[in-house]
Structure 1
Amino acid sequence: MDADLARCSQSSLSLVSRLLALKSGRNAGNLNLLESASIRRLIGQDLGPALANQGSADLGCWPGGSPHNTDLLACGLQEEAGKGVLAEFNLGCDVEHTQHVYRVYVTTFLGFGGNMARQRYEDRLFNGTLAKNRLLAAQAGLSEDTPVLDPCLPAGLSDAVVRDNGTLHLRGQGDWTQCQEAVRPFLGLHNGTMSPRGVYQAPINFSNSEFYGFSEFYYCMEDVLRIGGRYASSKYSQAAKDYCATKWSTLKQRLDSQLFSKQADISRLKYQCFKSAWMFEVLHSGFRFPFDYPSLKTAQLVYDKEVQWTLGAILFKTRFLPLRDLQQETLRQSHPGWLRPPLLYNHHLFSLCLLVVVLAILLYILRLRRIHQRELRQAEALDLLWAEEGEALLP
């Protein structure tokens, strides 16, 4: 992380160091879980103690060598054991409110993402084939005419593994069941361990829990299989088997006809068979989810809100700010004192103004009548005077 920050500081971008931070996989898992829980709360669900039974699984699929190449399982569980994989955060309005302190089991499995798993699988296939060729004086995979059969590629697909010391040609066999057996050793469950690389996993009450699967969990189910949403192992495995057994030419034709999602591309079509088997093994053999578990949902959006750890980070950083008070204060400052809404929209004030206007109109009408009556009296007096003067002039 320090090296990445140093490279950023040497770039042409103007960065403020105190505003820049790199999050580890563990922190990203915490923030991801926090955001999904916050979205549920915002749409009206009362979480309460249910947060302790909520979790998320994020199977990463970034290129190898990336510092963010992490796959994580974040589970909202109360757990005393495994202190090294427990994180604690306070969601109260200040540090003194311990009512909303949660302990979360979270860990990352670096190198267990879909792309990294495929790279390790190809490395073993490449090295194993070369060793076997030297032992048997064979030429398997050294030319397109003698490809090595790969059960994790769609039927009929020709592919090549290029390394510094040569190229290995592959031909897709499309056998999903055999692919499962081929990828299972890469979980590192040997020597009696029941978790990838022997990392402690907190026990999960599967009868009272709910999980969301993001990233590769969602892509594997939705991009080409089009069954994203609630996960059912039997439905998923059958769809994966059918896909792997489909001829490569048929898959390309379906892609050209836009029968897959917009995110699907040639790379997704080529390695969907492998990644679907890898996801299945990670979920059931690595994380030990029961095959009949009904409460896992793969998603990219939760209640139409995109789930990313960045929003969780914002929520966590601003949790102590009195946002409602700040909003009201800003509203008060934006209006002059005589235009404040409680005064401006007071119905008593409106009635008073209306009464004043009506009285002014009445007074104006009365004054006009008085002026008119005065003019009439003056006219009558003049007429009478002229009449008297006329009579006096007569002989």
Structure 2
Amino acid sequence: MGRISFSCLFPASWHFSLSSQVLPRLLVPSLRQLLFISLVIFLIGLVYLLLAAARGHASFLTKENNFHRRLARVTDLDATDTSNPNLNFGLVVDCGSSGSRVFVYCWPQHNGNPRELLDIRQMKDVHRKPVVMKIKPGISELAKTPERASDYIKPLLSFAAQHIPKYKHQETPLYILCTAGMRILPENQQEALLEDLRTDIPVDFNFLFSDSHVEVISGKQEGVYAWIGINFVLGRFNHVHDDEDAVVEVHVPGNDQQVALMRKRTAGVLDMGGVSTQIAYEVPKTEEVAKNLLAEFNLGCDAHSTDHVYRVYVSTFLGFGGNAARQRYEESFVRNTVTRNRLLGQHVGETAESPLLDPCLPTDLQDEIGSPAQKLYLRGTGDFDRCRQLLQPFLNRTNDTQSSLSGVYQPAIDYRNSQFYGFSEFYYCTEDVLRMGGDYNASKYIQVAKGYCATQWKTLKKRFDSGLYASHADLHRLKYQCFKSAWMYEVLHSGFSFPTNYENLKTALLVYEKEVQWTLGAILYRTRFLPLRDIPQESLKGAHSHWRHSFSFLSNCYLFLACFFIVLLSIMLYLLRLRRIHRRAVQRYTPSSVPWLEMSLGSPTLPVNL
């Protein structure tokens, strides 16, 4: 091979010039080259990042859609899918004055958003019927034999246990809550009944049950639970609203510095049972209400969040239920008749041939009231207006304009911009016999009620035998429908002072195909802290929280880009520093021959040795 020799033609001083100036120009890139290379690397990295993000986001959306579809399958099926392991169950036994009922509820796993409540609904069996069972009489009838309380309630719990998967029993909360029938008993009799339940139920059933899960609730609690139940079903606790929703400005109690919240306007509740009557509705912070008539509570699972803080006026009236009112009316009838007969020497009502006329019973209906020692015979005259007049003194009204039954204070209601729902006797009175449940119209109601009262009893009986009334309407309902129609009307318009032209009252048993009972509100309130305690952390980080995923995704993108730019900038600064060092070296050590090379002055011919 031939070899080229430079040493014979160039001075030694030229060797440095070739090594320190010509060769570095070949090795050190220009600034434009650096920028071009950096731009290419950046674009490649950005494209890779976007492709990865798209794949990740698509995977996330797929998982999220699958999750929500799974939730939809859980909550939207008519029949409850008991094979779903993510489904939770709960039981509430309503021990009322005339009987006890067990309600079985179910809900899917919470979605992880602390602003949302558990999606609780009634469980439905394979026939798409709500899982509910009722027994009679009320538990208060066992006041003298409290040791029978657990045997009395066992059929209800056995019925519920058959519908809930056995492996779920130990995590299924059971609440036994007693209402007005128990409240009228002496405290020692109440406690004896409750103690028997606390002792024996855990022996026979494996539900999540503690001593605090069985109690006699106050009328105030019952009213609040009813208020929670209806507003939950109506979606008034969902604070995402559109322009068509009626909203209200709410100042959270106890925090004067906080900005007012704008959320959906809640509905008021009227509930009349056999023994008591309740009214409950949300009141503004500016309304001063006595503490015994006010319930302030946080329904949300986060105790520090104010999204679900509510201030509700609630009042309960013992003895103002339909059956209790009839009993007070009859006792007054007996007392007044006996006194009058003694004073006048008469025997009115003491025999069936000379009955006492009762305008609150259907025409010609014969009835017996009082004790065996003081029995009275009644015959109905079916006079609705006269019946109303006789009932007004039993309301115990005062002349105070802001008072209701028994003179209890009642905050002002904006009747033009409010909505109320009437349950239990408010619904039964309008629907079971009169068949006009739903939107309440006072003038139509009076007309139909008058017609019923004035109808001959034998005609009403024929209609009943022909099945013209509601399937659960019995002869007791038929006998006292006239009285209860008048009582409901007086309580609503004379007691609670609702105007007769009020158009925003609905009487209901089902709302959106759901039976709304105070028991729904009870389980919602008592399980409000369950969601965030039991949700796996992976669920909170994954498909349950879209906004958290998005935030994390963006944060990772920004972090990646920042690191990428820092590394790229460091490389560029390092290369530029090398270039500056090289230039200083060239300026310091370049010999006089360099200009000759750069000016391309004649260069000698290079001999080639072969």
TM-score (norm 1): 0.77
Choose from 317, 322, 344 the match for 2:526: 317
Choose from 140, 147, 171 the match for 2:379: 171
Choose from 53, 59, 63 the match for 2:272: 59
**Residues in 2 aligned to 1:84 and 1:190: alpha-carbon distance in whole angstroms:** 20
Mapping of residues 251-270 of structure 1, within 5 Å: 251-270=460-479
1:225-275 residue CA offsets vs partner (Å, 9 max, x unmatched) = 000000000010000000000000000000000000011111101100000
- Return the offset for 1:166: 1.6
Structure 1's unaligned 5+ residue stretches are 62-68, 333-395
Aligned partner of 2:383: which letter? D
SS of the residue 2:303 aligns to: coil
1:9 aligns with 2:218: no
Which piece of structure 1 moves more, 43-52 or 280-289?
A: 43-52
Which piece of structure 1 moves more, 245-254 or 19-28?
A: 19-28
Aligned partner of 2:281 in structure 1 is: 75
Shift in alpha-carbon separation, 1:98–1:254, aligned structure 2, 3 A: same
**Residues in 2 aligned to 1:25 and 1:134: alpha-carbon distance in whole angstroms:** 40
1:213 aligns with 2:213: no
**Residues in 2 aligned to 1:327 and 1:241: alpha-carbon distance in whole angstroms:** 60
After the TM superposition, which segments of 4 or more aligned residues of structure 1 sit over 3 Å from their partners?
A: 42-53, 190-194, 320-325, 327-332
1:331-355 residue CA offsets vs partner (Å, 9 max, x unmatched) = 99xxxxxxxxxxxxxxxxxxxxxxx
Would the aligned equivalents of 2:194 and 2:214 in 1 still touch at CA under 8 Å?
no
Shift in alpha-carbon separation, 1:268–1:7, aligned structure 2, 3 A: same
Aligned partner of 2:380: which letter? G
SS of the residue 2:300 aligns to: coil
**Residues in 1 aligned to 2:337 and 2:449: alpha-carbon distance in whole angstroms:** 27
Would the aligned equivalents of 2:360 and 2:387 in 1 still touch at CA under 8 Å?
yes
Would the aligned equivalents of 2:301 and 2:532 in 1 still touch at CA under 8 Å?
no
- Return the offset for 1:74: 0.8
Aligned partner of 1:303: which letter? Y
Aligned partner of 1:293 in structure 2 is: 502
**Residues in 2 aligned to 1:192 and 1:331: alpha-carbon distance in whole angstroms:** 54
Aligned partner of 1:132 in structure 2 is: 340
- Return the offset for 1:80: 2.1
- Return the offset for 1:303: 0.9
The percentage of counterpart residues that share the same residue type is 51
- Return the offset for 1:52: 4.7
**Residues in 1 aligned to 2:343 and 2:191: alpha-carbon distance in whole angstroms:** 48
Would the aligned equivalents of 2:331 and 2:370 in 1 still touch at CA under 8 Å?
no
Aligned partner of 1:81: which letter? V
**Structure of higher CA gyration radius:** 2
Aligned partner of 2:289: which letter? A
Aligned partner of 1:72: which letter? Q
Would the aligned equivalents of 1:158 and 1:172 in 2 still touch at CA under 8 Å?
yes
Mapping of residues 146-157 of structure 1, within 5 Å: 146-157=354-365
- Return the offset for 1:21: 2.8
- Return the offset for 1:283: 0.1
Aligned partner of 2:219: which letter? G
1:166-214 residue CA offsets vs partner (Å, 9 max, x unmatched) = 2111110000000000111100015667421111111100011110000
Which piece of structure 1 moves more, 314-323 or 273-282?
A: 314-323
Would the aligned equivalents of 2:383 and 2:450 in 1 still touch at CA under 8 Å?
yes
**Residues in 1 aligned to 2:465 and 2:501: alpha-carbon distance in whole angstroms:** 36
SS of the residue 1:108 aligns to: strand
Shift in alpha-carbon separation, 1:249–1:43, aligned structure 2, 3 A: farther
Choose from 363, 368, 373 the match for 1:160: 368
TM-score (norm 2): 0.50
**Residues in 1 aligned to 2:224 and 2:289: alpha-carbon distance in whole angstroms:** 18
**Residues in 1 aligned to 2:399 and 2:494: alpha-carbon distance in whole angstroms:** 15
Would the aligned equivalents of 1:52 and 1:77 in 2 still touch at CA under 8 Å?
no
Aligned partner of 2:214 in structure 1 is: 20
Shift in alpha-carbon separation, 1:281–1:331, aligned structure 2, 3 A: same
SS of the residue 2:194 aligns to: helix
Aligned partner of 2:330 in structure 1 is: 122
Shift in alpha-carbon separation, 1:42–1:130, aligned structure 2, 3 A: closer
Which piece of structure 1 moves more, 87-96 or 117-126?
A: 87-96
Aligned partner of 2:415: which letter? F
**Residues in 2 aligned to 1:6 and 1:329: alpha-carbon distance in whole angstroms:** 47
**Residues in 1 aligned to 2:273 and 2:353: alpha-carbon distance in whole angstroms:** 35
**Residues in 1 aligned to 2:496 and 2:446: alpha-carbon distance in whole angstroms:** 17
Aligned partner of 2:82 in structure 1 is: none
- Return the offset for 1:9: 2.0
Choose from 382, 385, 388 the match for 1:180: 388
**Residues in 1 aligned to 2:371 and 2:348: alpha-carbon distance in whole angstroms:** 16
**Residues in 2 aligned to 1:249 and 1:43: alpha-carbon distance in whole angstroms:** 49
Which piece of structure 1 moves more, 78-87 or 175-184?
A: 78-87
